[in-house]
Structure 1
Amino acid sequence: MHSPVSLAGDAGSITRVAGIEVGHCTETRRPTGCSVVIAREGAVAGVDVRGAAPGTRETDLLHPSNLVDQVHAVVLAGGSAWGLDAATGAVRWLEERGIGFDVAVGRLPLVPAAVLFDLLLGDMRIRPDAAAGYAACQAACTRDPAEGNVGAGAGAVLGKAFGMQRAMKGGIGTASVTVHGVTVGALIACNALGDVIDPDSAQVIAGARTQDGLRLCDTRRALLRGDAPQSLLAGTNTSIGVVATDAVITKAQAHRLAVAAHDGLARSVNPVHTMSDGDTLFCLGTGRAGKNPGMLLLATMAAEATAVATARAARAAASITTAQGLYLPAAGALG
């Protein structure tokens, strides 16, 4: 007998993982925001950075050979390097609730973070700050989180290889897989340079458009036939996210699951991990399932949840027109 796998129909969410909460803060003055994934009781954590232009905080802490085993939240934010300030607000919120690493004189919340570049949409002086990180924590709960143009996905844009004028709207998405009573979920903010691909059909969902703006051009095939990409400012892209599981895992295993999650990102974004992306994925293990079904299964689940969540980030996005008149259609908006 095979244990049922929850995939078809209900894609699930990262909050189906016991011990995980998610909250968004979305800036209304321009498209940007932040999202927080909270593990109040602490979670074993790992990270894998594949993009060449990352913006991160506390990633060295997560190396398997380093001291601390658990963290208490992960922040994902827009605003490029300025957005890292959102983690300060999350630290304050957790400290107020007595959550953190015991340092004898108090508790120190450990909050790694990663950011994406969304400064080209609207007034760049408006970006997630400590107050936004605090507000995202205030909004956190165990319900399935909102997807699309919210939180860290509010200012996300896809398919920029041939310029912003031919790009499409990105967003944030979530999914989960449950096998043998263990769940792995993912939350992905997709602001990729490349196109977003359906991981099952390999068809382009959203990305760079043809010069007339009416159809998808398929960036991979366009580049391979010799179409010249537009010169890009390094780091103006990036997909960031969190994979979480209720399996019992070690810090080294959390790192390996973050590595495996990037395989899922590579199934749903092409080109991926470019010199202009800062692709970073975290892994959290709450241990609430009380067992580990083996790393082969967990790695497969991590890649699957990431691939599906990335596709959902594109499918859940809504079209926008910026104050500067730039139209960014969403998936499904093209004829």
Structure 2
Amino acid sequence: MIEHEPIAGAITDVRGIKVGHFTETRRPTGCTVILTEEGATAGVDVRGAAPGTRETDLLNPANLVEKVHAVLLSGGSAFGLEAATGVVRWLEERGIGLPAGPARVPIVPAAVLFDLAVGDHRIRPDAAAGYAACEAATGAPPAMGSVGAGTGATVGKLFGMDRAMKGGIGTASLRLGGITLGAIVAVNAVGDVIDPATGQPLAGVRDAEGRLSGTTAGIRRGELAPRPLAGTATTIGVVATDAVLTKAQCQRLAGAGHDGLARSIDPIHTMFDGDTVFALATSRSGQAGDMMALGALVPHVMAAAVLRAVQAARSVGPSPPGLSELG
């Protein structure tokens, strides 16, 4: 088997990217902002059947707007989309946005995950949370695990929360010549997290003895799952590069990000997940991106970020009975 160096780093290694978390203290939830204050070309690919998103249509290569100024990842299900309002306000106060007549309009796509089953569902990220995430944003490597959008994330939920484990948020990056490629992802999947190098589960559904038992294996054994509501999971993330890319190329890069999810989460893109990946190109390297190389490497960077998300996750706040931490 061909061995590769482990992928570490963070999406903030990409020039022009800052990341900030807001972590709610009253219950496990939060949001994470990826700031591109100078603007970045962007794309998106939505694969899950139950997405919660904002401003994704404008990322279609056929549509007018070329650059975005931030991407928001949030807990709180559809309610969490309100946090994007705080990001818009923070950017507007600094004169950042698309010139539009007398105003500058910040362009902030967003996606949410469902974490309302953990703690008091009436507490969720709002505009103040999005603003606070911007205030916290820096170019330093962001914290991973049970912070920001990953605070209330869980995995392995198909057979009920009593058999689930903690998810979280993770990030990774690598260099390709003079170009950097990074990813950040909040892992809140119906399925299990699998190490692509070994095929072994790292986190997911557990049996009565607390051992990892495998979601897909359970389905094959004929286990009957309770019927969760659509949209009760969802993995959301961003891949980014400082290469020069078009909107169409960013859209393709976002699709390659989903290949990384498919490598590391099983099952993925279910009827209960709203899996969404954004792609950003800051152009700060001044080099045109090689789409063959970038497309080949994005899945590896995204998969590494998924693994790091659950490896760093810890139990936080009130949790359902049996919800395990990773240590």
Q: Does the alignment reach a TM-score above 0.5?
A: yes
Instruction: Tell me the CA shift for residue 129 of structure 1.
Output: 0.1
Contact 2:187 2:306 in 1 (8 A): yes
Shift of 1:226: 1.8
Q: Tell me the equivalent position of 1:311.
A: 307
Supply the AA of the counterpart residue of 1:233: L
How far residue 98 of structure 1 moved from its aligned partner, in angstroms, is 0.8
**Conservation of the 8 A alpha-carbon contact between 2:192 and 2:265:** yes
The SS at the match of 2:189 is coil
The count of corresponding residues between Structure 1 and Structure 2 is 324
1:162-189 deviations in Å (ceiling 9; x for gaps): 1100000000000012111111100100
TM-score (normalised: structure 2): 0.97
Q: Which moved more, 1:195-204 or 1:33-42?
A: 195-204
Q: What's the counterpart of residue 170 of structure 1?
A: 167
Q: Which residue of 1 aligns with 2:145?
A: 148
Matching residue's letter, 2:323: L
Conserved 8 A contact 1:232-1:276: yes
Distance 1:262 1:283 in 2: 11
Measured in 1, the distance between the counterparts of 2:296 and 2:7 equals 19
**Are 1:118 and 2:123 counterparts?**
no
2:215 aligned with 1:222:
no
Instruction: Give the AA of the match of 1:239.
Output: T
Q: How far apart are the structure 1 equivalents of 2:82 and 2:127?
A: 5
**Could you say which residue in structure 2 is the equivalent of 1:329?**
324
1: distance between equivalents of 2:30 and 2:323? 18
String of CA shifts for 1:251-270, please: whole Å, max 9, x gaps.
00000000111000000100
Equivalent residue for 1:42?
39
Letter in 2 for 1:261: G
1:107 aligns with 2:111: no
Q: Is structure 2 residue 124 aligned with structure 1 residue 127?
A: yes
Within-5 A mapping of 1:27-106: 27-106=24-103
119-128 vs 286-295, greater mean Cα deviation: 286-295
1:187–1:242 Cα contact (<8 Å) kept: yes
Q: Does 1:280 align with 2:305?
A: no
> Percent same amino acid among aligned pairs?
61
Q: Which residue of 1 aligns with 2:204?
A: 207
Matched, 1:236 2:232: yes
Long gaps (5+) in structure 1 = 1-6
Q: What is the CA–CA distance in structure 2 between the aligned matches of 1:284 and 1:248, rounded to whole Å?
A: 10
**Mean alpha-carbon deviation: is it higher for 292-301 or for 135-144?**
292-301
Indicate the SS of the match to 2:309.
helix
1:25 is the counterpart of 2:22 = yes
State how far apart, in whole Å, the 1-side matches of 2:325 and 2:299 are.
Answer: 24
Partner amino acid, structure 2, of 1:81: A
Question: Which residue does the alignment assign to 2:257?
Answer: 261
Superposed CA RMSD: 1.2
| Cα shift at 1:289 | 1.0
Cα distance, 1:237–1:104 mapped onto 2, change above 3 Å: same
CA distance in 1, matches of 2:220, 2:214: 10
* Residue aligned with 1:185, SS: strand
Alignment-mate amino acid for residue 215 of structure 2: T
- The match for 1:301 among 297, 300, 304 is 297
Give the TM-score normalised by the residue count of structure 1. Answer: 0.94
Displacement of 1:10 in angstroms is: 6.0
Q: Match of 1:155, SS?
A: coil
Gaps of 5+ in 2: none
In 2, Cα distance between equivalents of 1:306 and 1:262: 8
